[in-house]
């Protein structure tokens, strides 16, 4: 009997074992050599939690000037990494997305209230991939083109509402955005100003927002509380009740769309796309469609408010945009989706709206699923990773005079060809997030903002309002309300004045035409 194979096998084992030890040695040395990025000294046990204040991104931006574009914080013993640089964020969250795409555990919002069906809160695994894939099927760039008639219709209805009632302009914007998102989610007709559906959507947003507020529930700090039975946990009773309530609401919407689709009475929408998906069950499909319209409504509405604020404070930008619209569109019709290629300044205004005042200043934090080393710094497994959009979108090295609303920054000297800063995913800003967590609805959002901006500026001069004494009211550019994940301008008055006497006639004709197409 020959012993050669056994000897060869033992040699292979030795080589393999040597490789394992060598790898372990290299990793161990790297970990010993690496240290957490520098950061501010915190309090015993609490770390830096109490030092952040109400507008956390502002304090984080100040620390970045002291400690650099990547630094660390301590949240009750849990390490947190803060990124304030386009390059660092791209290096880690994009190029190393395989290990930077997890989420910190959110027990109340992610597991109890949403029943692990709100995919934005899920850890990076099979469930997240399945639900996000379903959402992408309904909102990818190709699918989003099917929703353009909805967005064109709603832009007309918004202009009509504002022409009749400028005082409540914010309510009209919220109604329009809610109507768009419900339509592309379920193929529903336009919402009326006092439609109860608007309140139902707003209630879900508010419930989710309050549940996700840091410190709202001790279980997020002490996860062992989750092992207490339901009868001993008021928070769990509330979460279960909310889950049943919103699951029933989303299922009602979804089943109605499914019924209309079977009767061939349902137009293009997310529900009609994902109901063909055999990978997910009915409840999962209902939550995918429901969370898309709920979250999409709040963020797009906030961005639309930012645009109107900018027009009040930078009227020269408004007049320049109006000149291009008049040249391309004329006065005989309203702007439409076919004008996108011919209105580069309006496209730049969309980019600048999403850059100028970040509506999601910190986004949702990522979490690392294994140790990593970057620029000699250790980023440990389980660390939360924040990307400070507010700081990066205000970086003067990338955006000169960042406090100004300047769409020209995204155009070359001819103001025809787009110039997009690197490491911004071709958007020019970072509003849609990073890596495998990038927003699936970016195309729909861009189209909504483009059509709204072009149509509003075709029809109106957006002006500062006056008080009862005739004094012009200038809104505070820095007065924003923090709704956990959405930073919204505080209420301010505005006036919408027809630019030409022919607007009502063209508006009526366009409304009749666009309503008949749906």
Residues facing residue 73 across a β-bridge:
80
Over residues 187-227, the pLDDT tens digits come to: 988 888 788 887 887 788 888 888 887 778 888 888 899 89
CA gap 367, 123 in Å, rounded: 9
Over residues 14-28, the pLDDT tens digits come to: 434 444 344 443 344
| Greater model confidence, 516 or 451 | 451
Over residues 314-362, the pLDDT tens digits come to: 999 999 999 999 999 999 999 999 999 999 999 999 999 999 999 889 8
Over residues 43-59, the pLDDT tens digits come to: 988 899 888 887 889 99
Helix, strand and coil content of the chain, in percent to the nearest 5, comes to 55, 10, 35
Domain limits, the chain: 119-369+396-516
Q: How confident is the model at residue 34 (pLDDT cuts 50, 70, 90)?
A: low
CATH superfamily of 119-369+396-516: Cytochrome P450 (1.10.630.10)
DSSP 323-344: HHHHHHT-SSS---GGGGGG-H
Q: Is 378 helix (H, G, I), strand (E, B) or coil?
A: strand
The two beta strands, 78-83 and 384-387, are parallel
CB atoms within 10 A of CB 256: 15
pLDDT score of 518? 58
Ligand-binding annotation for 439, yes or no, is yes
CB atoms within 10 A of CB 175: 23
């Amino acid at each position: 009997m020959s012993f050669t194979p056994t000897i060869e096998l033992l040699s292979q084992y030795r080589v393999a074992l040597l490789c394992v030890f060598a790898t372990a040695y290299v990793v161990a040395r790297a970990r010993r050599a690496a240290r957490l990025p520098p950061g501010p000294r915190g309090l015993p046990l609490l770390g830096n939690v109490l030092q952040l204040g109400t507008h956390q991104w502002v304090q984080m931006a100040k620390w970045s000037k002291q400690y650099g574009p990547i630094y660390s914080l301590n949240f009750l013993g849990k390490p947190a990494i803060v990124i304030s640089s386009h390059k660092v964020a791209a290096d880690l969250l994009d190029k190393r997305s395989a290990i930077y795409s997890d989420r910190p555990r959110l027990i109340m919002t992610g597991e109890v209230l949403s029943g692990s069906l709100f995919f934005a809160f899920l850890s990076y695994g099979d469930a997240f991939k399945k639900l996000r894939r379903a959402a992408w099927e309904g909102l990818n760039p190709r699918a989003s083109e099917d929703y353009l008639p909805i967005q064109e219709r709603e832009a007309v209805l918004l202009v009509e509402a504002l022409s009749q009632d400028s005082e409540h302009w914010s309510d009209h914007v919220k109604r329009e955005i809610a109507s768009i998102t419900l339509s592309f989610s379920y193929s529903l007709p336009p919402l009326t100003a006092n439609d109860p559906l608007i309140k139902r959507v707003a209630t879900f947003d508010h419930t989710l927002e309050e549940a996700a507020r840091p410190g709202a529930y001790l279980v997020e700090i002490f996860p062992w509380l989750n092992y207490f039975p339901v009868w001993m946990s008021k928070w769990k009773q509330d979460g279960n009740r909310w889950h049943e309530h919103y699951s029933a609401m989303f299922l009602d919407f979804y089943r109605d769309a499914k019924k209309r689709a079977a009767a061939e009475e349902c137009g293009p929408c997310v529900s009609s796309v994902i109901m063909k998906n055999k990978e997910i069950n009915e409840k999962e499909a209902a939550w995918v469609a429901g969370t898309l319209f709920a979250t999409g409504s709040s963020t797009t509405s906030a961005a639309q408010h930012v645009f109107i604020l900018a027009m009040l404070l930078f009227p020269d930008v408004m007049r320049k945009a109006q000149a291009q619209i008049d040249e391309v569109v004329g006065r005989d019709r309203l702007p439409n989706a076919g004008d996108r290629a011919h209105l580069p300044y309006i496209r730049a205004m969309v980019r600048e709206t999403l850059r100028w005042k970040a509506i999601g200043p910190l986004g949702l934090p990522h979490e690392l699923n294994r140790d990593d080393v970057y620029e000699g710094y250790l980023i440990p497994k389980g660390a939360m990773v924040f990307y400070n959009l507010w700081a990066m979108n205000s970086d003067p090295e990338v955006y000169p005079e960042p406090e100004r609303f300047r769409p020209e920054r995204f155009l070359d000297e001819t103001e025809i060809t787009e110039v997009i800063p690197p490491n911004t995913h071709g958007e020019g800003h970072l509003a849609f997030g990073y890596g495998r967590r990038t927003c699936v609805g970016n195309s729909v959002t861009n189209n909504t903002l483009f059509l709204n901006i072009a149509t509003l500026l075709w029809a109106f001069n957006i002006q500062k309002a006056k008080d009862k004494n005739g004094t012009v009211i200038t809104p505070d550019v820095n007065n924003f309300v923090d709704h956990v994940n959405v930073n919204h301008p505080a209420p301010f008055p505005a006036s919408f004045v027809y630019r030409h006497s022919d607007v009502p006639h063209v508006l009526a004709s366009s409304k009749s035409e666009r309503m008949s197409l749906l």
